Structure 1
Amino acid sequence: MRFTTPPRPLDVTALSHRLAPLARTATRLHPRPGSPTAHDSSIGGPLLWPADEPWPYCAGPHPQEEADGVPHSPEDIRELRRVHAMAEARLLRDHHAPARLPEEQAFYERYAAGRPWCEGPVPLLPVAQLYARDVPLPARPAGTDLLQALWCPYGHGASEPRTALFWRSAATVTDVLDAPPEPTVVEEDGYLPRPCVLAPEEITEYPGLRQLDQETQAELADESRWQAAGARWDEDGALDPHEYWSGRLSTAPGWKTGGWTTWDLTDPEPRPCPACGTEQIPLLTIASSEWDDATEGWRPAEDPAHDRPDDPSEPTLVDIRGGYTLQLHVCPASPDHPHLQIME
């Protein structure tokens, strides 16, 4: 299925001549639940991983005292999602149906008890697999056409969870690993992505408010410029020009590649490569949701509103510490240099 971002409500460049040179292309991935294979671009799907290549592990540490709740096994989390879906479907068919069947209640009680904490190295979980034929990949190394992103399903400080990136040529993988190892437990249910297929769409982004110079910020605070550009405050419900810019015109929410770094919570900071000092660029944004009330204007035209049981704004069921976004940045000078991650 194709997903289409609605046209922006006005011409951004009409607000200031300073904005036109700042336009960047981003690719919204538009993940939706499905059954991807190792030969598809996906979120949370199987990876085209060579059978003779060791699966990556995280050595830790993974201190239990820093966890917010009890851990669960991946299979328990998948079963929980299945039980939820069955209950929601049952109640949609019959509003008088029981919210929980006896066997479902028994499962919930077992689930609440959790599983024993894992000690030792933890196998990483697949997060995203992106083929260059489907998705533009910034700073893609020569000779590669496939990006694979994995993470440790445990928190690791301010930029949690810890991620790993692998570039490879798909044509060189002739024997695919059929059953990669999984963690015994994961710290957060939201660290286990639901398998999703993708419908990539290229869009244009502009810097967030904090990344603009003072002159441009002042121009965007001038309501007469917005009126001249055709903004309708009452219809669009923005509280002020700066909120309008942040929620509707600058950076798109959701899973994407490229574009601008989103600074929602903190002021922009330099992102020098740890190896060479080159400023790193956005590669992949891992999002807890595709949009919310503040960014409703980015909701694809094909999607219904998100006040429904199977929320279309949360297709991957990824939840990074209650709704954060994890943005991975790479060094354009060398793919061998460590990547950086920012949680906002």
Structure 2
Amino acid sequence: MVRTTPLRPVDIASIFPELAPLARQAVRLHPRPGIPTPYESSIGGPLLWPANEKWPVCTEMHDDSELPVSLDDVRRRRALLEAAWLRPRGPKENLLSQEERALLDTLQAGHPSDGEPNALLPVAQLYLRDIPGLPCPDGADLLQVLWCPLDHETSLPAAYLVWRDAASVVDPLVSPPEPADVDHYGNYVPEPCILHPEPVIEYPAPHELPEDLLDRLAVWARAEWTKSHPEDEDHGSGDAYYQYELSVAPGWKLGGWGPWSFSDPWPMLCATCKTECRPLLTVSSGEWDGGSGSWIPLEDRVPPAGPVGLREPSDPPMVSIGRGYNMQIYICPVSFDHPHLENMQ
């Protein structure tokens, strides 16, 4: 199936020509529940990994303010809650039975970490054939992203990037190692998803625009908003119209612009050569919410019939960054060998 982003309400670059040179292509990944194979692009699916290549592990310090849990704990907890949400119940009937509540408490209790290196967890696998504009070194056609599913110094999971030539993997690994520890709430454990990539055009978040342009955009946005919301004319509404409707697409995506939100932008400079890095991958806590409903794909605008379960339509991977934010991975345009950068917005 395809996913189709609705046309933006207006062609903002025709109204503000200064934005035209700032247009960038992003590829919305539109992850949806599925059973991907190692030979497909996916979120949270199995990786095409050579059997003779060492699986990466994390040896960094982790945030120990809350006990980690096991990957099996997360899977069993999600299965328990999914079944509970899907079964019919009366208006005064509890979601869980006493036995299920006790089991859930056990699964959420956590365990002390043994301090051993933690095997990394697959996050994304992106084939060049599926993802328009996927940056790859010469001879590579596959990007694989793994991370340590625990909080680190940046309050983010630590990502690990691998580019490879898919055709060179003739003896793939069948049963990769799994991490002994994941974050207490399982926020960094993506559910398997197949992808429906879709190129879209983005413009910078308001935080990255020159002040003069931003001021004129704000005046225009308020006037544009009150055309359809006259009741808001005296309340300053519409200031976020450009940000939420016309600039940066929400959700998991490749490339485009960074979704700066609760902080002002700062230079994302390569630690090796000081070149400005560009967004590679945005990991999102959800593809839409109350402020980004106009970005809901046309194919997803009719709510599913019947109970939804634990896995909400707006967040099939079930990944949560911070308090519902985004994690961006930036790479240096000079060399794929230079270390990447991570940011939360």
Question: Would you say same fold, with TM above 0.5?
Answer: yes
Q: 1:163 aligns with which of 159, 165, 184?
A: 159
Q: Which of the numbers 260, 271, 282 marks the counterpart of 1:263?
A: 260
State how far apart, in whole Å, the 2-side matches of 1:118 and 1:187 are.
14
Q: Secondary structure at the match of 2:26?
A: strand
Any conservation in 2 of the 1:15–1:219 contact (CA below 8 Å)? no
Hey, what does 1:340 align to over in structure 2? 341
Shift of 1:283: 0.6
* Equivalent in the alignment of 2:239: 242
Select 1:274's aligned residue among 250, 271, 277.
271
Aligned to 2:172: 176
Pairwise CA distance, 1:118: 3.5
Alpha-carbon shift at residue 258 of structure 1 (Å): 0.7
When the two chains are superposed, the root-mean-square deviation of aligned CA atoms in Å is 2.4
Give the AA of the match of 1:316: P
Once residues 99 and 48 of structure 2 are traced to their aligned partners in structure 1, the CA distance between those partners, rounded to angstroms, is 37
Aligned residue type for 1:302:
E
Q: Go from structure 1 to structure 2 and tell me whether the alpha carbon gap of 1:59 and 1:308 turns closer, same or farther (over 3 Å shift).
A: same
Deviations 1:50-89 (A, max 9, x none): 100000001021252xx3x332111111111111111111
Residues 241 and 21 (structure 1), Cα distance of their counterparts in 2 relative to 1, 3 Å cut:
farther
SS at match of 1:329: strand
Alpha-carbon distance in 2 for matches of 1:55, 1:107: 32
Give the distance between the partners of 1:261 and 1:283, measured in 2 at CA. Answer: 9
Aligned runs of 1:19-58 on 2, under 5 Å? Answer: 19-58=19-58
C-alpha separation in 1, matches of 2:36 and 2:144: 14
- The answer to whether structure 1 residue 327 and structure 2 residue 322 are counterparts is no
- Counterpart in the other structure of 1:136: 132
Residue correspondence of structure 1 range 192-211 to structure 2 within 5 A: 192-211=189-208
Which range moves more in the overlay, 233-242 or 6-15?
233-242
| Greater CA drift, 173-182 or 212-221 | 212-221
Q: 2:77 aligns with which of 63, 66, 80?
A: 80
Residues 34 and 197, structure 1, Cα contact 8 Å, conserved in 2: yes
- Within 2, Cα distance between the matches of 1:157 and 1:332? 25
- Cα 1:308/1:233, change in 2 over 3 Å: farther
Structure 1 unaligned residues grouped into runs of 5+: none
Output the amino acid matched with 1:174.
V
Shift of 1:98: 5.3
Report whether the alignment pairs 1:315 with 2:316.
yes
Shift of the 133–334 alpha-carbon distance from structure 1 to 2, 3 Å rule, reads same
| C-alpha contact 2:221 2:241 (8 A) present in aligned 1 | no
Alpha-carbon spacing, 1:235–1:147, altered in 2? closer, same or farther (3 Å): farther
Matched residue type, 2:72:
E
The DSSP-based 3-state class of the residue aligned with 2:74 is: helix
SS in 2 for 1:293: coil
Q: CA deviation at 1:170?
A: 0.1
Instruction: Note the C-alpha offset of 1:234.
Output: 1.1
Letter in 2 for 1:323: G
Change (3 A) 1:231 1:41: farther
> Which amino acid in 2 is paired with 1:27?
V
State the 1:105 CA deviation: 2.7
- TM-score by length of structure 1 reads 0.91
Listed as ranges, the gaps of 5+ residues in structure 2 are none
CA distance in 2 between partners of 1:299 and 1:199 (Å): 13
Per-residue deviation at 1:158? Answer: 2.4
